[in-house]
A and B are shown apart, each in its own frame.
Chain A
Amino acid sequence: MALLIPTMATAQYPEKDELKFGFIKLTDCAPLVIAKELRYFEDEGLFVTLESQANWKILLDRVIGGELDGGHMLAGQPIAATVGVGTRANLITPFSMDLNGNGITVSNAIWEEMKLVDPALAVPKPVHPISADALKPIVDAAKDIGQPLQMGIVFPVSTHNYEIRYWLAASGISPGFYTPRDTTGMTDADVLLSVTPPPQMPATLDQGTIHGYSVGEPWNQQAVFRKIGVPVVTNYEIWKNNPEKVFGMTQEFAEKNPNTAIAVTKALIRAGKWLDESIENRKKAVKILSRSEYVGADEEVIAASMTGTFEYAKGDKREMPDFNVFFRYDATYPFFSDAVWFLTQMRRWGQIGEAKSDAWYDEAARRVYRPDIYMAAARALLAEGHLTAAEIPETDGYKAPDSGFIDGKVYDGHKPNEYLSSFEIGNQSSVGKMTGR
């Protein structure tokens, strides 16, 4: 009888506590895996099943369709879905899963050509970051003979897409535009970017079908281990501490199950904090992630990027403690300025068809990114002693103007149109004209 009468106490329990989340086999699904394996979900009274998905599209569709209650998502996915780029649905995110974590790898053949163009690259430990300047003559030559270079990305609204486009455009290479008639983004392109599922990237690179790809780990290190390619730059170098993956759910789910949303966020914040606590924890995480039901790659390949290092050309291993960031630098807080950046890039390349006002960008960001859920979770964790006050950011949702980009440009989230006008290649803010070649 007592079970049927809702008491004040039950008002704070998760409404739906048997949950199924989807993830893709990339190392930055770690917060979800750790939250499950270290029983942080169980501590919140949640019983979670994690199921790997075949690709980003299927994961997105299944979250929208309700088969999955939430998922590991590319930061661009909930934003794109809500503003209507690709499948339309109202998605939200209360938690940013990590910063950085991607790399751009080119084939051995391309790397050799790059070394010929720029002899400074031909040393055992070249100076990083490597821009696409050395690639430009190769791109132009390939285009002249009618066989433009092909590169792989994982999804049209993925961070990897915007990062490789940023990197190419910073050196004057046009990565192609999306138009109402061209949904593949290859209009006026010097380099053709197309979607390839991450596990197939090393094989297609080896065969020469693509000449490079932009992807998360372990696929860049896999290329190094199998000697089929060379990672030339990481997204940490393209944009220092850039937002990468988020945890996404439908707005409907969050509205029907507000306590569940907060409980899930609490468990994920604890997992992120654990991951960044020590290299020892990272090593334990690597062991768990290498299980076949999670990322499944060999331990040494995962460890190559998750334990504080990153290997470029074989033998060129660099210290990179921030290659994956799960909690430091307020990595878990969903900043509006991050959402606005993705929106500006969607506009820059034409996925958003018309110019929008600054207010539109702000309003769209506020619909998708939900720091209110995050703060509710953080305050609860503070009360329980799992977080210190110093670890909770005090912010209006916008980071300070950021100049950590490979081309030195400054990004101020409050001024998206001004930011768009600062690029040579890309749709300008108000005129909406493409300036590709």
Chain B
Amino acid sequence: MSSDSPTFSLGKVRIIRVVEGLGLEIFTPVIRLLAGDDPKEQVKELARSVGVPLLSILAFLILWSNLAASVETRIGSLPGPAEVWTEAKGLVAEHYAERQKAVEFDQRMVVLKEKWEAEGRPWKNRVYSGKPTYFDQIWTSLKTVFAGFLVASLLAVPLGILCGLSRTMNAAFSPLIQIFKPVSPLAWLPIVMILVSALYTPEHPFFEKSFITSALTVSLCSLWPTLANTALGVASVNPDHMNVARVLRLPWQTRVFKIVVPSALPLIFTGLRLSLGVGWMVLIAAEMLAQNPGLGKFVWDMFQNGSSATLAQIMVAVFTIGIIGFMLDRLMVILQRAVSFEGTVSA
């Protein structure tokens, strides 16, 4: 098969589409290179999309390293990339050490179980109750942000569609939205904490109160971008489409789900993407105060330690939070591409 054949080109285009669908479009020039497209242009593209960012990251590391060496405060010197890397490795090592302790605990429990059963004492299966490791905390944060984001989206999307379709509803909700939108999570948190404390009192709670408090605070702060963008997207549906729907006398469900939502989808997804970003930021603040055992609590606990490793540990957390935030954003882009029509996605 020669590189001029249409089958080849089609195959190449298909591969590129898959790659872009996975959010890895920086590798497109590589594929094109392999397919024999104009090498000079592909190399230039590659240099710009991969080479330049790598160089800038390198420059940042060098700048940081020099800055850290020169800044000495009484609370400690600013850690450079090397110290932060050391602390990161330390956290990973602690994770494995803790898992090892869990294994030892299980072994002890086997012995204890025999002892108790010999005494006639009722036995329950025990789980190791050590500290949550760094990876446990990352996982808790992710679970919490998704819980909050889900609640926010389930509220914001229908409300946004309603506000976008009906100008009366929009007028009704608008003042409330404008007032509650700028409220900081730190102001919502005490209210949410008190409400959850008073209202969530089951005998055997499935969710921890701190989890619910953090998730709800995330929802309260992150539903606004989705709401606003959904309303805008719905309101900007091509009026011709709505006229056709009226002529055909389509029921409202068809109008909403077949016309309005698909047209508004790009803006809805823009809103969701912004909401997830806001939610991730809010989560860290909420966790610090609600004591949800995630990355926010990690940062606060390390700050409270006041040890010489504290600043470096907090910087590890800063990078972790940033990288995860970046990956969450890419996830939303991939989802957006999956459900959008071609040519409507702005990466």
Residues of A217-241 at the interface with B, using a CB-CB cut-off of 8 Å, are 218-219, 222, 226-228
Using known A-B contacts A199-B306, A292-B305, determine if residue A51 contacts B291 with beta carbons closer than 8 Å: yes
Chain A residue nearest in CB terms to B131: A293
B300 at the binding interface (Cβ < 8 Å): yes
Indicate with 1 or 0, residue by residue over A307-335, a CB within 8 angstroms of chain B CB atoms. 00000000000000000000000000000
A47 at the binding interface (Cβ < 8 Å): yes
Q: Which of A10, A47, A222 has the most CB of B within 10 A?
A: A47
- Are the C-beta atoms of B305 and A297 separated by less than 8 Å? yes
A52 at the binding interface (Cβ < 8 Å): yes
**How many Å from the CB of A226 to the closest CB on chain B?**
5
Chain A residue nearest in CB terms to B90: A292
B346 at the binding interface (Cβ < 8 Å): no
Q: Which of B120, B193, B291, B302 contacts A296 (CB 8 A)?
A: B302
Inter-chain CA distance A2–B94, complex, in Å, is 42
A140 at the binding interface (Cβ < 8 Å): no
Inter-chain CA distance A279–B289, complex, in Å, is 37
Indicate with 1 or 0, residue by residue over B83-125, a CB within 8 angstroms of chain A CB atoms. 0000000000010000000000000100010000001111000
The residues of B that contact A18 with a CB separation of less than 8 Å are: 126, 129
Tell me which of A60-68, A176-184, A376-384 binds B.
Answer: A60-68
Chain B interface size, as a band, is 35 or more
- Are the C-beta atoms of A3 and B122 separated by less than 8 Å? yes
Chain B residue nearest in CB terms to A58: B291
Inter-chain CA distance A226–B74, complex, in Å, is 6
- Are the C-beta atoms of B306 and A297 separated by less than 8 Å? yes
Using known A-B contacts A295-B305, A296-B305, determine if residue A202 contacts B75 with beta carbons closer than 8 Å: yes
- Are the C-beta atoms of A67 and B120 separated by less than 8 Å? no
- Are the C-beta atoms of B305 and A25 separated by less than 8 Å? yes
Q: Which of A2, A65, A197, A199 contacts B209 (CB 8 A)?
A: A65
**How many Å from the CB of A25 to the closest CB on chain B?**
5
A53 at the binding interface (Cβ < 8 Å): yes
- Are the C-beta atoms of B75 and A296 separated by less than 8 Å? no
A203 at the binding interface (Cβ < 8 Å): yes
Inter-chain CA distance A111–B129, complex, in Å, is 46
- Are the C-beta atoms of B75 and A54 separated by less than 8 Å? no
The residues of A that contact B174 with a CB separation of less than 8 Å are: none
A278 at the binding interface (Cβ < 8 Å): no
Indicate with 1 or 0, residue by residue over A41-63, a CB within 8 angstroms of chain B CB atoms. 01001011101111000100110
- Are the C-beta atoms of B126 and A67 separated by less than 8 Å? no
B153 at the binding interface (Cβ < 8 Å): no
A7 at the binding interface (Cβ < 8 Å): yes
A13 at the binding interface (Cβ < 8 Å): yes
The residues of A that contact B300 with a CB separation of less than 8 Å are: 54
Q: Which of A2, A54, A62 has the most CB of B within 10 A?
A: A54
What is B's interface to A at a CB cutoff of 8 Å? 74-75, 94, 108, 112, 119-122, 126, 129-131, 193, 197, 201, 208-210, 288-289, 291, 293, 297, 300-310, 313
What is A's interface to B at a CB cutoff of 8 Å? 2-3, 7, 9-10, 13, 18, 25, 42, 45, 47-49, 51-54, 58, 61-62, 65-67, 197-199, 202-203, 206, 218-219, 222, 226-228, 290, 292-293, 295-298
Ranked nearest first, the 10 interchain pairs of A and B with the lowest CB-CB distance are A296-B305, A293-B131, A49-B129, A199-B304, A3-B122, A25-B304, A65-B197, A298-B307, A226-B74, A297-B307
With A3-B122, A293-B131, A293-B301 given, name 17 new contacts (CB 8 A): A9-B119, A10-B122, A25-B304, A52-B304, A54-B291, A54-B304, A61-B193, A61-B197, A65-B209, A67-B209, A199-B306, A202-B75, A203-B75, A226-B74, A227-B74, A296-B304, A297-B305
